[in-house]
Structure 1
Amino acid sequence: MSAATHRALVRLPADARGRTRVEVVELPTPRLGPEDVLLAPVTSGICGTDWQILRGLRADPSRVLGHEGVARVVEPGGTGLRTGSLVTVNPTHPDDPSFLLGHNLPGLWAERTRIPATAVRAGLVLPVPEGADRPEVAALAEPLASVLYGLEIAVGVTRPAALVVWGDGTVGRLAREAWQRRLPGTHCLLVGYGADAVDPRAPGLAELLAGLPEPVGVLIATPRTGTLEALSAVDRHVRGRLMVDVHAGLPSGPVPLSAGEVDVAALRADNCGGEPRPPRVRRFDRPTGPLLLYGHRGVSNRHLRQAVDLLLARPPEPRGGGVLTHEVDLPGAADLVNSVLDADRRVADGRRVLKTAIRTGGGDDG
């Protein structure tokens, strides 16, 4: 049986700017209903969406965030899952919007997390191989799965001669690697703020975009606040056949593009959790060439398993290198989150924060 209480990283009341600092708090371990499952997270990730919530850019109500990671089963609730086995959770229910792990339900930044029966029955608790709790696997599987989802849609539409990845955070860098592995030899332009990227404010960027060989594929993986600027720039400067994956979130409502006004947020929601098949891709006629526009939310179990397998096959990332830049325990996560919020810069311990893995132990005390 699980302990009566557990530690969790809990959001505090918002400050005047809407930001929510966090602290480690002892909470009552949730009681389970029929067919609920209790998990002990081992390793979880801090993703870009989490940073948006912490900064007050999204209104998600959960006090405990965390929707990507690996856990051990503590109480299987008669589901057939084995106590002590390693699992991951698909955080998005395709048919039940009330289940969105770490957004409107308590997430994985805790020593115990309850997964409700509706998600268990939908098969969202997935067994994974031993070793999948490695920080770079647990923290990167869900974002890589989302990249693979978008890539699968793209290759079903056209093979690009050039690729633009706009946003050089975790998703952007995973996308560049995945696209170049799937489509070797494709010219790739990374737009962002890292040393290997072109700054989006660079005066020569428009010329670079205009000179790309068509067809051009674009993946927009910016923070939510940069999505519209990136979409407008590629629409304005890329000529010929253009395919855009709006991976990043954006406000609802019409967006002015050269082909007319488009509700890009609604279009992005057309593909969710691997459905429908074939995915929906909209075509718009621009003065400079056709625009093929799509987006997607969530991932399928198939994408998650594929991502876990790919990451397990890779050598472990050195701590502080690659996409996984920080590894912390729960108190260390509180320090990192609060320092980033206070400084208003994604920097901790002198390094840019891309992906952070939080180690919670996975029931070592239970």
Structure 2
Amino acid sequence: MSPAAALSIERTPGNQFIEVVRPVPALAPGELLLGIETAGVCGTDIQIVKGMRSEAATVLGHEACCTVLGVGQRWAGRYAEGDRVAVNPTSSTDSGFLLGHSVDGVWSSHLLVTEHAVELGQVMPLPENLDPVLAVLVEPLACAIYSWSILRDAQVERVVVLGDGAVGRLVAWLDSLHLDSSAVVLAGRLDIEDERARAHVLRGMRGRTGVVIATPRDSTATCVSIALENAGDGSVIDIIGGIDPGPDPILQYAARVRAQNVCGRPSKPNMFNLEVGVPDAPRRVQITGHRGVSHEHFRDAAELLLARGDEVKDLITHVATPTEAVGALNGMAAGGARVLAGRRILKLVIDFRDGTTA
């Protein structure tokens, strides 16, 4: 493909995914042109693919490793062609900027970053020697770092992670670096449904526990209920995944609190307190949540992956061409399983390094 052409994976109005070739966008003085080396498919993306949530973007994706291909005149001296960068997908000051949701994302060989997004500081440097496949884990690991900062300040003694997708596994791995590994329990859907495994999970909630809920939004209510029924006195429930609150007043309040904690702000996150259990022996539990990550979380995640990325590289189960990715996405959109090449997808990376970013 000619360097003047850009390849995107685009979503049609009928929720099908197609490869589209367009001219590389022209660069204005205040913009940056990025070449996407690799892009990740996250759990939220899969919810959109399956029709579980609606977003405005035609091009999805917010996890990527990029190279600066063009620098608008305004940013000369701050960025240079060849810089390795990524885009922090959420802004703490502009709720209208949400990469891959409200604005087109990174499932494309090229991304034109607007002057406003550059002004917000969303284009972040990456270590030059960070593997571009591993680099798609920077943003989800930054989310795990955000979560740990909350649990650390709450002085939890143990952690139970509900949700064994890529984010949940990163949370469990990170928290195990700070606590004894025996004090961290990772539980997926099957662990909750199986009686013996469920008993092990619930035992992990005894005492002052951080319960991190990293599940799709349709499972959040069940997991919050489990945590409230079993978490010990002084525990903190941190909701990383989305919330579909419905009529439940606790979930409605949790959704409002989660929306107030954005990209590390405020520095002391909003929480709300509940007393649960029997009246003569109540348990005090705090509920919080957050969305987005700060630039500091993002930088810390990149450095940690550079230093210890080999420990989490197996989370990336598939590296696919755009054509292969389109087949998998359309299979999921049609109600199929999260499977590619006969293996369940945990983290799928789309590799755009075929000359289109040159």
TM-based fold match above 0.5: yes
Instruction: Say whether 1:223 aligns with 2:216.
Output: yes
Give 1:308's aligned amino acid.
Answer: A
TM-score, with length taken from structure 2? 0.90
The 2-side partners of 1:203 and 1:358 are apart by 38
* Residue of 331, 334, 340 corresponding to 1:342: 334
Q: Deviations over 1:182-212 (max 9, x none)?
A: 112452222215xxxx522123466445534
Pairwise CA distance, 1:241: 2.8
Q: How many Å separate the matches in 1 of 2:63 and 2:198?
A: 36
Match of 2:152 in 1: 155
Q: Could you tell me which of 261, 264, 272 is aligned with 2:262?
A: 272
- Tell whether 2:349 aligns with 1:354: no
Distance 2:146 2:347 in 1: 20
- The alignment partner of 2:314 has SS state of coil
Q: Distance in 2 between matches of 1:211 and 1:31?
A: 58
Change (3 A) 1:143 1:99: same
- How far the C-alpha of 1:252 sits from its partner, in A, is 4.6
1:97 Cα deviation from its structure 2 partner:
2.0
Task: Name the CA distance, whole Å, in 2 between partners of 1:171 and 1:109.
Answer: 20
* Residue matched to 1:235: 228
Alignment partner, residue 81 of structure 2: 83
* 1:154-204 deviation line (CA, Å, top 9, x unaligned): 1111222x32110101011111110010112452222215xxxx5221234
- How many aligned positions are there? 349
In structure 2, C-alpha distance between the alignment counterparts of 1:209 and 1:358, rounded to whole Å = 34
Which consecutive residues of structure 1, in runs of 5 or more, have no partner in the other structure? 15-19
Secondary structure of the residue aligned to 2:191 is coil
Provide the C-alpha distance between the structure 2 equivalents of 1:224 and 1:291, rounded to a whole number of angstroms: 21
CA deviation after TM superposition for structure 1 residue 115, in Å: 0.9
1:70 touches 1:132 (CA, 8 Å); kept in 2? no
For the aligned residues, what is the CA RMSD?
Answer: 2.2
With normalisation by structure 1, the TM-score equals 0.89
**Percentage identity across aligned positions?**
34
Q: Distance in 2 between matches of 1:65 and 1:151?
A: 27
Inter-partner Cα distance in structure 1 for 2:310 and 2:284: 42
CA distance in 2, matches of 1:28, 1:50: 25
Cα contact 1:218–1:244 (8 A) shared by 2: yes
8 Å Cα contact 1:43-1:133 kept in structure 2: no
More helix by share: 2
Q: Secondary structure at the match of 1:61?
A: coil
Instruction: Check the 8 A contact 1:111/1:362 in 2, yes or no.
Output: no
Shift, 1:314, TM fit: 2.5
8 A Cα contact 1:252 1:266, kept in partner: no
1:24 to 1:185, Cα distance in 2 relative to 1, 3 A: closer
User: In structure 1, what is the Cα distance between the partners aligned to 2:62 and 2:209?
Assistant: 32
Instruction: Report SS of the residue matched to 1:173.
Output: helix
Shift of 1:147: 0.5
How far off its partner does 1:34 sit?
Answer: 3.6
Aligned residue for 1:123, secondary structure, equals coil
